[in-house]
Amino acid sequence: MQGCDYRPQVQHWVRAYTRSPRHFLAKWTAALPLLEWVTDEIERRGLPAEFAMLPFVESDYRPLPARGKGSAGMWQIVPATASANGLRIGSDYDARLDLIDSTRVSLDLITDYYKEFADWRLADLAFNAGEFRIKKVLGERDARMLSAAELGKLPLRKVSHDHLDRLLALSCILADPTRFGVQLPEATADTRLAVVDLEAGMDLRLAARLANLPLDDLRLWNAAYRRDRMPESAPHRLMLPVSRIEAFRLAASSIPLAFWNDWHEEPAGRSGHLDSWAAQIGIPLDALAAANAMAVDARVTHTMRLLLPGAEPKRSRTADTQQFGHTAEHVIAAGDTLWTIARRHGLTLRALRAMNPQATGKLRIGGRLRLQADEG
């Protein structure tokens, strides 16, 4: 597709995206593992590389949870599209947030739209506005004969025209970043993801420990699991960096399958050697040590937090969310991050930050975060 010079509006978005080179680099650094997966799928299918920019246009490459019956995932798939394409949506698992399945369905749709309209520009517009809307506004016209200016005058919402302009603007920038004074992150074995099929469901908190990864990163790459555990009816697999897979498999092999899928974190509450906790719980010592990235003879202090097998204790409503008039608030507990709080309450991280501008540093246990904007 034409990129930088498609129409003047593309340059508007180029300037908007590159206004802050630091911010631009940070966003693409966060997106890189997901971007690499999508790019590989696009290349495998022989689709235009520009469509690797589509999740950035939709969501900044973030697997956003749905609010109510809205769209979800980095491709922002609506429930009707999910249902028509076999993507399961549930409280414990939402396939629209699954990197593999959401990418497959989205690229299938783009391919189908191209077959329908024979124009990649229309394929992108149909992804945003809907296939039937595009058919209606085109009428009997052949889209391939329309210039950029003529296409831009089709009676579609501005957001749909912006969608194509933004896609082309990002492609323009990534094709020659130095021209626009920005940098792109470099891919490494730590940013390339691969699928690890599991024999049974595994709690994400345990998986993060075994792979020696930040929990928030693992959740980002495996966002379809909404409650840190893998339901029986959902796929049992993990997206992990290629560089961590061998060590993960070795560590996982030390833990019996029966202990894989239900873990929780709690204060040790007492001092002693790790073997006393293993004996109390009835789990092999080497398994508990692996789950906590500790030596088998490690000594535990009463202030340490241990990852232990067993279901997460249920919080009371008053401990998790309190109502004050029409404004819901979350009471910060140990282990909470802005990401986990947003995910638990069905908010985007951006929305949570907007409602809590003071939450810029380390969260204070017992503090409160707003979950609803003031009415009016």
Read off φ and ψ for residue 212, nearest 5 degrees.
Answer: 55, 50
Do 171 and 53 meet the contact criterion of CB atoms below 8 Å apart? yes
Distance of CA 374 to the CA centre of its chain: 27
Length of the chain: 376
Kind plus residue range of the DSSP H or E element containing 265: strand 263-267
Amino acid letter, residue 254: S
- Listed in order, the ranges of the chain carrying CATH 3.10.350.10 are 317-370
Q: Quote the mean pLDDT of the chain.
A: 89
Task: Label residue 373 by pLDDT band (50, 70, 90).
Answer: low
**Top-confidence residue, 283 or 322:** 283
Q: Indicate which residue of 36, 41, 43, 58 is catalytic.
A: 58
Q: Is-catalytic flag, 36?
A: no
* Average pLDDT rounded to a whole number, residues 308-335: 56
**Selection from 362, 341, 361 nearest residue 352 by Cα:** 341
Task: Label residue 67 by pLDDT band (50, 70, 90).
Answer: confident
pLDDT of 172 reads: 95
Q: Is the pLDDT at 321 greater than 60, yes or no?
A: no
Q: Is the pLDDT at 39 greater than 60, yes or no?
A: yes
Confirm or reject CATH 3.10.350.10 for domain 317-370, answering yes or no. Answer: yes
pLDDT of 263 reads: 92
H-helix segments, the chain: 8-17, 21-45, 54-59, 79-84, 99-117, 120-129, 131-138, 148-152, 158-175, 204-211, 215-221, 245-252, 274-281, 285-291, 317-320, 338-344, 349-355
Window from 36-40, 124-128, 352-356 with minimum mean pLDDT: 352-356
Q: How far apart are CA 295 and CA 298, in angstroms?
A: 5
Window from 11-20, 76-85, 335-344 with minimum mean pLDDT: 335-344
Task: Label residue 328 by pLDDT band (50, 70, 90).
Answer: low
Q: Class for domain 8-180, per CATH?
A: mainly alpha
- Listed in order, the ranges of the chain carrying CATH 1.10.530.10 are 8-180
Task: Label residue 331 by pLDDT band (50, 70, 90).
Answer: confident
Angle between helices 8-17 and 158-175 (to 10 degrees): 70
Give DSSP secondary structure letters for 138-204: HTT--GGG--HHHHHTSS--HHHHHHHHHHHHHHHHHHSGGGGT---PPP-TTT-EEEEE-SS---H
What's the pLDDT tens digit per position in 189-245?
899 999 999 999 999 999 999 999 999 999 999 999 999 999 999 999 999 999 999
* Average pLDDT rounded to a whole number, residues 282-295: 92
Q: How far apart are CA 103 and CA 345, in angstroms?
A: 25
